[in-house]
């Protein structure tokens, strides 16, 4: 939100007040920080202390490399929930250090410090690496304040605050050349400088500035990140109100954020994952191909069987079959009951599919909305399980499902009932759940079961409690590391409940690029696992788009064929072209390649869970932060530490991509290109720029491997690429347990004793 009209004027209808100086610095009761008393005018006489506002700023050491900053205007404002679940795995200890000298007061948390200037009548707080005076960012003059809308003409009007909105804002400085990234799954420009960003979950598709997954965390190219600790609407002006500042504002009386020091993006993400939670583990089978019925298509048991039989006949393994919306009866979404007209024996059907080996797992589509035509609506309404209006009516509207209600997950009995509905599905043979929707949660005229929650804070937070409930129900049924969601909505912390997909995109190359940018931004927001609707969701993809998207989608951490009103089985896209360049052959090749990559992918996945890293899509700047070009790249990504992927967006197969410093090897041809530099190639549908990073030991399944789950140490193909002393590859089994390490010592690969069968080691490049 913009509070000014240019640099000199206040915006029409707005009154702003700023912290003009630090009048007093006091120790906090915790002993780990300081409190700053900051009046909104400079105090030059005792009379200046009267009839003015003050801001209170708490600066506190949180843990090594992390400092919190909380700004408050009126301390007596109620603290209503919900709040983010901070430190879910426990809070680390911190050795806070507070020192004072002639320059000011410094609070240190290990490698990060905040120094409050000691000059009289000055407001200046610098955040810098401990031991260095070079700031990462600062809070300077007129950078912390509050605003009223409309602008009161006299303080007496504020006796009745019902007529006014009150905002708190802070503005951290942007340095020359600094870029800002993350903030959830955002589909616009990768670098957010120059943008206004509204962190408010919305169902807006991928071709808009709205986002399904708004994450109040951003990363700077200068080696730090900022996590804004509130689930309510946060409005950011990122070099867009003042070109040299990032402004965060919330409606209310207080605003807290954490500054997280790296210095590398990896360090920032690891520390962020300590704050909000590490990504959950995913089972190895989830990396295989997921096939969906699509959204509004008509299908029944025979259709499902024909899809899976067709895929088997074309040697395209399907790991998970997904029943989208119309497994339910029309107008009865979501009542958790198969439409018996189309699926007379769902349990028997699922049992037969699995027994035949045609598919391993089954997923169904759900959401937290109940159409009033469904029998469960009446049950949930009678028992008080649905969100209500302030007058006691159930909150209903005809947006999406006719007369739909919204499950109130602040009601423990509603949660238990929802869990019982899920358990009936599990009894039918369902293994995983697509948790769709959860974005359009009303914030006005709403009364939650829990009267302590703020409806505006619940809007974004609903995605957390919704996905958490389903994920933990899956864990209870199938095991801690066997739970898998396919979620669309998210907020900070939802990375703990994998996985997510990118939402509704068109079947165009532009939408594929939008989706890629969204995945990159979400990866820089602490999410390890991500997928996309291969082929695009809306429309009818031409064969060339479908095939280019297949190559991109099978090199994401998770891969799902899904559309809206048209099927995504390959033979329906190109009239069953059986050539080597047809859709079926293309899908077969990339599905088989992903199966071969599983020893590498699943090992990398364990590291991602441990350190809060994205597996794919991983922005280039995470691996190459010292290369300025890496912070600009939004049409390519890293798949784990060692594989670079550049999807193709042109019909003729032309693609331009960037290689950082070093000798990079083409995975398919063995050709070596030396970076740094830009390169242009032309690819058929069976390839794209897939380059192996120098100093890599790459472990692959055997030639011809088509399974996702197998012994990742038996009959494997180990390749070394310019692997020098100390190069390593961690070996895991299909449960993710570490079973060994391959390492180059004195020019030889050691640790080979853990390899079994006909495993081989090949020096591809030395």
How do the domains of the chain map onto residue ranges?
A: 4-76+94-261, 284-366+411-604, 647-765
Give the catalytic positions in this structure. 436, 439, 504
Q: How many CB atoms lie within 10 A of CB 299?
A: 18
User: What is the pLDDT at residue 490?
Assistant: 98
Q: What percent of the chain clears pLDDT 70, i.e. is strictly above it?
A: 100
**pLDDT range class, residue 474, cuts 50, 70, 90:** very high
Cα-based distances in Å from 504 to 129, 162, 531, 751: 42, 39, 12, 46
Tell me what the mean pLDDT of segment 400-419 comes to.
97
Q: Which residue shows structure tokens 């029409």?
A: 12
Tell me what the mean pLDDT of segment 454-470 comes to.
98
Helix, strand, coil percent values for the chain (each to nearest 5): 25, 30, 45
| Distance between CA atoms of residues 601 and 731, nearest Å | 10
DSSP 354-404: HHTTS-SEEEEEE-SEE-TTSHHHHHHHHTT-B-B-TTS-B--B-SSSTTB
User: What is the pLDDT at residue 564?
Assistant: 97
What are the beta bridge partners of residue 18?
A: 145
Q: How many CB atoms lie within 10 A of CB 736?
A: 16
DSSP 720-756: EES--TT-EEEEE-TTS-EEEEEEEETTEEE-GGG-B
**Paired tokens of 339:** 């439409």
pLDDT at residue 125 tops 90: yes
**pLDDT range class, residue 159, cuts 50, 70, 90:** very high
Cα-based distances in Å from 143 to 15, 138, 250, 258, 664: 15, 9, 14, 16, 45
| Strand, helix or coil for residue 662 | strand
Indicate the length of the chain as a whole number.
766
Strand residue runs (E) in 223-360: 224-228, 234-238, 245-251, 254-261, 289-292, 320-323
| Distance between CA atoms of residues 70 and 247, nearest Å | 15
DSSP conformation class of 350 = H
Tell me what the mean pLDDT of segment 472-486 comes to.
98
pLDDT tens across 16-31, in order?
999 999 999 999 999 9
Cβ atoms of residues 38 and 23 within 8 Å: yes
| Distance between CA atoms of residues 248 and 233, nearest Å | 10
User: What is the pLDDT at residue 766?
Assistant: 83
Tell me what the mean pLDDT of segment 182-207 comes to.
98
Element (H, E) at 544: helix 543-553
**pLDDT range class, residue 765, cuts 50, 70, 90:** confident
**pLDDT range class, residue 727, cuts 50, 70, 90:** very high
4-76+94-261 and 284-366+411-604 share one fold: no
pLDDT tens across 680-710, in order?
999 999 999 999 999 999 999 999 999 999 9
DSSP conformation class of 329 = P
| Distance between CA atoms of residues 168 and 147, nearest Å | 7
- pTM, to two decimals: 0.97
CATH superfamily of 4-76+94-261: glycosyl hydrolase (family 31) (2.60.40.1760)
pLDDT tens across 215-248, in order?
999 999 999 999 999 999 999 999 999 999 999 9
DSSP 436-496: --------SS-B-SSTTB-HHHHHHHHHHHHHHHHHHHHHHHH-TTT--B-B--B-TTGGG
Cα-based distances in Å from 695 to 118, 641, 729, 742: 49, 11, 10, 13
| Terminal-to-terminal C-alpha distance of the chain | 55
What are the beta bridge partners of residue 681?
A: 655
Q: Does domain 647-765 have CATH number 2.60.40.1180?
A: yes
| Distance between CA atoms of residues 691 and 448, nearest Å | 52
- Burial, 755: exposed, middle or buried (Cβ in 10 Å; 0-12, 13-18, 19+)? buried
| Distance between CA atoms of residues 656 and 676, nearest Å | 14
The alpha carbon of residue 757 and the mean position of all alpha carbons in its chain are separated, in whole angstroms, by 39
Tell me what the mean pLDDT of segment 72-93 comes to.
97
| Distance between CA atoms of residues 731 and 751, nearest Å | 10
| Distance between CA atoms of residues 552 and 534, nearest Å | 8
**Paired tokens of 88:** 């879910």
Sheet holding 24-27, edge to edge: 24-27, 33-39, 54-63, 66-72, 254-261, 224-228, 214-220, 180-184
Q: How many CB atoms lie within 10 A of CB 691?
A: 25
- Burial, 370: exposed, middle or buried (Cβ in 10 Å; 0-12, 13-18, 19+)? buried
- Burial, 71: exposed, middle or buried (Cβ in 10 Å; 0-12, 13-18, 19+)? buried
The alpha carbon of residue 95 and the mean position of all alpha carbons in its chain are separated, in whole angstroms, by 31
What are the beta bridge partners of residue 538?
A: 506
pLDDT at residue 635 tops 90: yes
pLDDT tens across 282-340, in order?
999 999 999 999 999 999 999 999 999 999 999 999 999 999 999 999 999 999 999 99
Half-sphere exposure of 255 (CA within 13 A, CB side): 24
What are the beta bridge partners of residue 184?
A: 214
pLDDT tens across 556-599, in order?
999 999 999 999 999 999 999 999 999 999 999 999 999 999 99
pLDDT at residue 261 tops 90: yes
Secondary structure string (H, E, C) spanning 485-512 = ECECCECCCHHHCCCEECCCCECCHHHH
The alpha carbon of residue 121 and the mean position of all alpha carbons in its chain are separated, in whole angstroms, by 42
Tell me what the mean pLDDT of segment 382-405 comes to.
96
| Distance between CA atoms of residues 505 and 535, nearest Å | 9
Strand residue runs (E) in 626-737: 637-639, 643-645, 654-666, 672-682, 690-692, 696-700, 717-721, 728-732
Closest CA to 268 of 30, 524, 483, 628: 524
Q: Does domain 284-366+411-604 have CATH number 3.40.50.2000?
A: no
Q: What percent of the chain clears pLDDT 90, i.e. is strictly above it?
A: 99
């Amino acid at each position: 939100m913009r509070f000014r009209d240019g640099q000199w004027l206040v915006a029409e209808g707005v009154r702003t007040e700023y912290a003009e100086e630090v009048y007093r610095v006091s120790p906090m009761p915790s002993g780990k920080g300081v409190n700053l008393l900051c009046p909104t005018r400079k105090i030059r006489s005792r009379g200046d202390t009267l009839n003015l506002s003050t801001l209170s700023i708490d600066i506190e050491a949180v843990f090594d490399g992390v400092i919190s900053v909380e700004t408050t205007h009126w301390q007596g404002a109620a603290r209503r929930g919900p709040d983010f679940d901070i430190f879910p795995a426990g809070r680390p200890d911190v050795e806070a250090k507070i020192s004072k000298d002639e320059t000011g007061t410094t609070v240190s948390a290990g490698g990060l410090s905040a120094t409050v200037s000691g000059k009289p009548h000055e407001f200046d707080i610098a955040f810098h690496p401990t031991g260095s005076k070079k700031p990462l960012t600062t809070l300077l003059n007129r950078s912390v304040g509050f605003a009223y809308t409309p602008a009161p003409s006299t303080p007496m009007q504020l006796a009745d605050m019902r007529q006014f909105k009150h905002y708190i804002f802070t503005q951290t400085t942007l340095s020359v050349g600094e870029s800002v990234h993350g903030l959830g799954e955002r589909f616009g420009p990768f670098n957010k400088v120059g943008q206004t960003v509204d962190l408010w979950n919305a169902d807006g598709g991928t071709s808009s500035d709205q986002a399904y997954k708004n994450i109040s965390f951003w990363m700077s190219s200068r080696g730090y990140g900022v996590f804004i600790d509130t689930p309510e609407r946060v409005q950011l002006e990122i070099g867009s109100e003042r070109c040299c500042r990032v402004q965060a504002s919330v409606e209310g009386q207080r605003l807290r954020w954490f500054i997280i020091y790296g210095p590398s993006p990896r360090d920032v993400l690891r520390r962020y994952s300590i704050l909000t939670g590490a990504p959950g583990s995913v089972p190895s089978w989830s990396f295989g191909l997921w096939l969906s019925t699509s959204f509004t298509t008509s299908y029944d048991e025979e259709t499902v069987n024909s899809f899976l039989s067709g895929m088997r006949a074309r040697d395209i393994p399907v790991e998970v079959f997904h029943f989208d919306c119309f497994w339910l009866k029309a107008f009865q979404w979501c009542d958790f009951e198969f439409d018996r007209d189309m699926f007379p024996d769902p349990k028997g059907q699922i049992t037969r599919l699995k027994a035949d080996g045609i598919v391993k797992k089954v997923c169904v589509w759900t959401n937290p909305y109940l159409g009033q035509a469904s029998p469960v609506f009446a049950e949930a309404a009678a028992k008080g399980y649905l969100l209500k209006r302030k007058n006691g009516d159930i909150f209903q509207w005809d947006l999406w499902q006719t007369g739909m209600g919204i499950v109130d997950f602040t009601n423990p009995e509603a949660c238990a009932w929802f869990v019982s509905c899920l358990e009936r599905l599990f009894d039918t043979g369902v293994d995983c759940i697509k948790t769709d929707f959860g974005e359009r949660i009303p914030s006005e005229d709403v009364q939650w079961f829990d009267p302590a929650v703020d409806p505006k804070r619940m809007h974004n937070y609903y995605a957390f409690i919704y996905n958490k409930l389903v994920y933990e129900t899956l864990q209870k049924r199938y095991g801690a590391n066997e739970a898998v969601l396919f979620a669309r909505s998210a907020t900070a912390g939802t990375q703990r409940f994998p996985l997510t997909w990118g939402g509704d995109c068109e079947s165009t190359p532009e939408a594929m690029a939008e989706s890629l940018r969204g995945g990159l931004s979400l990866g820089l927001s602490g999410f390890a696992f991500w997928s996309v609707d291969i082929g695009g969701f809306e429309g009818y993809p031409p064969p060339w788009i479908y095939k280019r998207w297949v190559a991109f989608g099978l090199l994401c951490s998770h891969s799902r064929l899904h559309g809206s009103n048209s099927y995504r089985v390959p033979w329906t896209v190109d009239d069953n072209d059986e050539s080597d360049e047809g859709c079926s052959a293309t899908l077969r090749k990339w599905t088989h390649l992903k199966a071969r990559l599983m020893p590498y992918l699943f090992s990398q996945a364990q590291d991602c869970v441990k350190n809060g890293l994205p597996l794919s899509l991983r922005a280039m700047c995470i691996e190459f932060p010292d290369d300025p070009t890496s912070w600009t790249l939004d049409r390519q990504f890293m798949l784990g530490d060692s594989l670079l992927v550049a999807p193709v967006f042109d019909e003729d197969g032309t693609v331009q991509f960037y290689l950082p410093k070093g000798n990079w090897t083409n995975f398919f041809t063995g050709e070596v290109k030396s970076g740094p530099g830009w390169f242009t190639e032309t690819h058929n549908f069976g390839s794209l720029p897939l380059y192996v990073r120098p100093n890599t030991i790459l472990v692959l399944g055997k030639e011809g491997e088509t399974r996702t789950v197998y012994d990742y140490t038996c009959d494997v193909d180990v390749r070394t690429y310019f692997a020098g002393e100390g190069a390593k590859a961690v070996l895991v089994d299909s449960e993710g347990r570490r079973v060994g390490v391959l390492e180059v010592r004195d020019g030889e690969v050691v640790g080979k004793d853990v390899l079994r069968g006909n495993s081989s080691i090949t020096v591809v490049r030395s």
